[in-house]
Amino acid sequence: MNLLALNVQTILSTVADNIFSAWIPLFLWEVHDLRFKEMGFLSSLPLLGGALGGAAGGWLNDQMIRRTKNRRWSRRLVGLTGKGIAGALLLVSLLWYESPQYFCGMLFFVKFFSDWSLTTTWGTVTDIGGSKSASVFAFNNSVAGIGAIAAPAIYGNIAEYVNWTSVFLTAAVVYLLCAASWLLIDCTIPVFDDEAE
């Protein structure tokens, strides 16, 4: 059940994050009629935020574990707050939807908080995988493919048949579901009983 909860979190995270790696340039072109140079710069802002957020999240995770001595709740809280703040900020960022510069500036922070939980996911995989953490990591990464396959169908259909605002609302809801999934993940329960070997 623990691995399943982690897999669900990974699928939801992949669906939500797919918007940044694949859809922002199309959004900027279709909605704001931006040219490639400006579109390239603005669409890179969320990815930069994600890179910085990953580093910040790793540091935060280590600090919380060190200070609280509670690995389970430290990992849970970093994962839950990161994805939760990302979902909430994505909703708030829609206030600047009409200004691509401000909107993409807000997406920098959305991705920052989303990715600060990425290192928490990796740490959790290491914790529950034990001596087989490489296998657990490979399985969890493979399961993420479900989200990578589903996201284009989800976002593409919503963008085409509804509107782009609904695409971002969908991603925000997926982030919030991803945040909630962290309540089911317990990094102290191993997938395998290493002592039995």
CB 111, CB 97: distance < 8 Å = no
How does pLDDT run across 29-82, given as a tens digit for each residue? 999 999 888 888 999 999 999 999 999 999 999 999 999 999 999 999 999 999
CATH architecture of 2-189: Up-down Bundle (1.20)
Predicted confidence at residue 2, as pLDDT, reads 84
Can you list the alpha helix ranges (DSSP code H) found in 69-163? Answer: 71-93, 100-115, 118-129, 133-161
Q: How is the chain split into domains, by residue range?
A: 2-189
CB 92, CB 155: distance < 8 Å = no
> Against a cut of 0.95, is the pTM above it?
no
Q: Among candidates 2, 57, 9, 22, which has minimal Cα distance to 175?
A: 9
Cα 46 to Cα 20: distance, rounded to the nearest angstrom = 7
How does pLDDT run across 69-119, given as a tens digit for each residue? 999 999 999 999 999 999 999 999 999 999 999 999 999 999 999 999 999
CB 50, CB 112: distance < 8 Å = yes
